[in-house]
Structure 1
Amino acid sequence: MKALILTAEGFEDLEVHLTWYRLLEEGIQTSLASPTGMVVTGLHGYRIDPDLSLKEINPNDFGILVLPGGAASERLRQREEALDLARTFLDEGKLVISIGRGAQILISAGAINNRRVTCSIAIRDDVKAAGATYTDDPVVVDNNLVTCAHSEDLPGMFRALIPVLPVS
């Protein structure tokens, strides 16, 4: 099983790095992608050299899609390739993980109508307007969509996530 983490300039450092390392610890090969494949810098100054650009991604190569938050999600939601990936993964029943503001990508993809979702409180109204049922829980599992409200909730997300990780 392989995972793909989408990121862009201004990503929330902890949400990307902790998720990346935890997936690797579970034996899941994990790749990072940015809009152009060029180095991106997080909100706290950490830099990532992605493996792929959005155009190089073949969704058939991955079983898990991770959408971290930070300013990166605002940039990614404007990229049709990112929106197509989110829709494809959800439609094909593949696991999608959204953290904090990562739900902005799902909103723009039109992919959360009638879903139970948690997210950063800053985008709570946007999630509701997109047709999702917002819940104030730190972590929500709705079939193949796992959402996490904040980086502080990542440990709880992984406790909920590990049992449902697809096995290759």
Structure 2
Amino acid sequence: MTTLLTILTPGFADWETALLNAGAREYYRLDTRFATPGGEPVTSAGGLRLAPQLAIEEINPTDYDALLVNGGSIWQQPDGPDLTKLLQSAQAAGVVIGGICDGVIPLARAGLLDDRRHTANGPESLPQTGYGGGAFFIGSPRAILDRGIITAPGTAPVSFMGAVLEALGLRTGDLDFYLGLYAAEHHAGAPSVGPS
């Protein structure tokens, strides 16, 4: 069975991988798992408390088809989890790797973006990582998939979902329809915010 593992940290951004994991589990019948630092429960930015299946430190990347790093402010901190060896091992094993919002920072630290097209919240969010991929950065509002690595700004959970499923070989007319459903509101113009 295809298995996705999402790394979550204290204060993780709820919306960034929620649609992906829900669609993968309910529609595609994939196995979705979650890992946190020390395997401890974490609370999201929105107050959702989550108990993971395992600790980041216990991850064997070859047990998973996709390894996803959810955003959160911890990735900007010097004491954030170091995923360098894990991500490099996953890449060497051919595992699909994705990072969204500040979850792109560990990918940059691991050198995964030095030679492939990618995006992030902005190029200014990556330089303090030892990052050498400036020539490959694309300022995109949508996720970018390049040779099994997916990156996205925090405002792109729908295209991130699509790129991950595409990288797993699940791009079909059904996925295109599903993506269209979630993107439809963005084609309708500005939302109404006042009384009608």
TM-score, normalization by structure 2: 0.74
Map 1:35-74 to 2 at 5 A. 35-74=37-76
SS of equivalent to 2:160:
helix
Map 1:1-168 to 2 at 5 A. 1-24=2-25, 25-74=27-76, 78-80=80-82, 82-121=83-122, 123-126=124-127, 130-132=131-133, 133-137=136-140, 138-150=142-154, 152-166=155-169
Using a 3 Å threshold, how does the CA distance of structure 1 residues 161 and 37 change in structure 2: closer, same or farther?
closer
- Higher-Rg structure is 2
Using a 3 Å threshold, how does the CA distance of structure 1 residues 84 and 129 change in structure 2: closer, same or farther?
closer
Using a 3 Å threshold, how does the CA distance of structure 1 residues 59 and 75 change in structure 2: closer, same or farther?
farther
Structure with the bigger percentage of strand:
1
- Separation in 2, partners of 1:69, 1:101: 5
Please list the CA deviations of residues 4-42 of structure 1 after superposition, one character each: whole Å capped at 9, or x if unmatched.
Answer: 101110111111322321221322201100011111011
Letter in 2 for 1:26: Y
- Separation in 1, partners of 2:19, 2:78: 20
TM-fit CA distance, 1:127: 8.1
TM-fit CA distance, 1:115: 1.7
Q: What are the ranges of 5 or more consecutive residues in structure 2 without an aligned counterpart?
A: 171-196
8 A contact 2:102–2:121 mirrored in 1: yes
TM-score, normalization by structure 1: 0.85
- Separation in 1, partners of 2:92, 2:107: 12
Using a 3 Å threshold, how does the CA distance of structure 1 residues 10 and 75 change in structure 2: closer, same or farther?
farther
Letter in 1 for 2:167: V
Q: What are the ranges of 5 or more consecutive residues in structure 1 without an aligned counterpart?
A: none
Please list the CA deviations of residues 102-159 of structure 1 after superposition, one character each: whole Å capped at 9, or x if unmatched.
Answer: 1111122222211211111274452896122110122111111011112x32212333
- Separation in 2, partners of 1:50, 1:85: 18
